[in-house]
């Protein structure tokens, strides 16, 4: 067989900062999966899945949990349980729900989305209060607010606990439900030392992703009250998310909770390292909240270059970053990026900024 042409033309990706979803299961995790005790999840009799749900519910201080194939399904099911068709939900305009869930809430739930303008993915309690619609026959009913802790597309910013609680209380005072998209909640915990339970307290629905910084191949756990989880199960089933011997993948989640939570603080530290290396590179622009967790976003607008071209220049040097829109670059650290990788990534991004700046000047 001749050489693989794609291998000849594209350089090997040595440091993958595209997303923390790019991790591969470790040998220890694979062993735990192979040895998992299993049953039928659809009839709630898979012991490993049950153990995982109980563990995450306890971590989040919630009554119950349900295993989901993805975080996207956790968000969708939370919306479906807690809204009616014609209702409105309030999110930030950079949120995963608004931008990259294929408008599932509209397509399946018949819900409209009020996306609040937020430079760093975080809106104030005042902005939220102002967005709640007074009851009127002509208006949609404001039904649910979602907070993304940490923010994803706007750079891993960490919501302030007091603001989260203020928003939760305003929502409840208006008869609304309050939801936490906790895809990276444990990165916020690592960044602040505030417990997951404290962040989740009093929210009506909250979930953790297993397939991001925790390094699992698949899965998320959605939690809330016992009643909420009964209804969430109904939607999981309707959407085709009920499984059979899911203990094989739930075992990865239990393994990650035992072995990978400490890594999240290291991932956050690696982003700070990259941030420090490129903070004064020419033409790059950062939000004031940049570098708070394991994601770093910056604009390359000042270099007069498109994000896709900037990302291609980094990839040519073996560092994969993600272009978001025309001018934003996102870099995300995870357990497959070590300190040396973070140092090299900082140097490569910095060199790319200098090269584009020189080109613009000359």
Ligand X SMILES: Cc1ncc(COP(=O)(O)O)c(C=O)c1O
Q: Which residues pair with 324 in a beta bridge?
A: 328
How many residues belong to the site for ligand X (CB under 6 A)? 12
83 scored as a contact of ligand X (CB under 6 A): no
If we measure between CA atoms, which residue out of 72, 65, 80, 75 comes closest to residue 221? 65
Distance CA 302, CA 357 (A): 9
Number of helices (H) and strands (E) in the chain: give both, helices first: 15, 12
Asked whether position 70 contacts ligand X by CB under 6 A, the answer is: yes
**Residue (48 or 95) nearer to ligand X, CB:** 95
Please state the separation of Cα 66 from the chain's center in Å: 18
* Min CB(69)–ligand X separation in Å: 8
Does 22 bind ligand X (CB under 6 A)? Our answer is: no
Per CB under 6 A, which region of 65-73, 227-235, 245-253, 330-338 contacts ligand X? 65-73
Type and span of the H or E element at 177: strand 177-181
Q: Which residue, 75 or 142, is less far from ligand X as judged by CB?
A: 75
Residue 220: CB minimum distance to ligand X, A:
5
Indicate which single residue of 79, 96, 307, 346 sits in contact with ligand X (rule: CB under 6 A).
Answer: 96
Find the binding residues for ligand X in span 155-194 (CB under 6 A): 181, 183
Angle 327-331-335 from CA coordinates, rounded to 5°: 165
**Does a cis peptide bond (omega within 30 degrees of 0) precede residue 150?**
yes
Residues 197-256 interacting with ligand X (rule: CB under 6 A): 209, 211, 220
Name the minimum Å distance from CB 134 to ligand X: 30
Q: C-beta of 269: minimal distance to ligand X in Å?
A: 20
User: Nearer Cβ to ligand X, position 70 or 317?
Assistant: 70
Assign 147 to helix, strand or coil: strand
DSSP string, 251-309: HHHHHHHHHTHHHHHHHHHHHHHHHHHHTTSTT-B--TTTTSSSEEEEE-GGGT--HHH
According to CB under 6 A, which one of 25, 65, 71, 109 is a site residue for ligand X? 71
Q: Which residues bind ligand X (CB under 6 A)?
A: 70-72, 75, 96, 148, 152, 181, 183, 209, 211, 220
């Amino acid at each position: 067989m001749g050489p693989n042409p794609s291998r000849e033309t594209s350089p090997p990706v040595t440091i993958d900062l595209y997303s923390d979803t790019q991790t591969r299961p470790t040998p220890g995790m694979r062993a735990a999966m192979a040895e998992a005790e299993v049953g039928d999840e659809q009839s709630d009799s898979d012991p490993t899945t049950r153990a995982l749900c109980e563990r995450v519910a306890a971590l989040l201080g919630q009554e119950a949990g349900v295993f989901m194939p993805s975080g996207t399904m956790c968000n969708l099911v939370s919306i479906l349980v807690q809204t009616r068709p014609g209702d409105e939900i309030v999110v930030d305009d950079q949120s995963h729900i608004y931008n990259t869930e294929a408008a599932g809430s509209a397509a399946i739930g018949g819900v409209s989305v009020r996306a609040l303008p937020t430079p760093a993915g975080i809106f104030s309690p005042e902005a939220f209060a102002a967005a709640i619609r007074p009851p009127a026959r002509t208006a949609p009913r404001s039904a649910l607010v979602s907070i993304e802790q940490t923010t994803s597309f706007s750079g891993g910013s960490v919501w302030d606990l007091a603001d989260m609680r203020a928003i939760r209380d305003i929502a409840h005072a208006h008869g609304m439900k309050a939801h936490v998209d906790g895809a990276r909640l444990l990165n916020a915990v690592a960044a602040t030392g505030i417990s997951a339970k404290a962040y989740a307290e009093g929210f009506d629905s909250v979930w953790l992703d297993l397939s991001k910084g925790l390094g699992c191949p698949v899965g998320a756990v959605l939690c809330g009250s016992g009643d909420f989880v009964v209804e969430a199960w109904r939607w999981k089933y309707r959407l085709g998310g009920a499984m059979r011997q899911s203990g094989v993948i739930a075992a990865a989640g239990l393994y990650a909770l035992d072995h990978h939570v400490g890594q999240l603080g290291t991932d956050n530290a690696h982003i700070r390292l990259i941030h420090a290396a490129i903070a004064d590179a020419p033409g790059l622009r950062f939000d004031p909240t940049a570098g708070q967790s394991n994601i770093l976003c910056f604009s390359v607008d000042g270099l007069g270059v498109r994000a896709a071209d900037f990302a291609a220049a980094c990839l040519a040097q073996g560092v994969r970053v993600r272009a978001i829109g025309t001018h934003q670059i996102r870099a995300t650290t995870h357990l497959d990026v070590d300190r040396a990788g973070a140092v090299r990534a900082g140097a490569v991004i910095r060199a790319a900024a200098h090269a584009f700046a020189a080109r613009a000047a000359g």
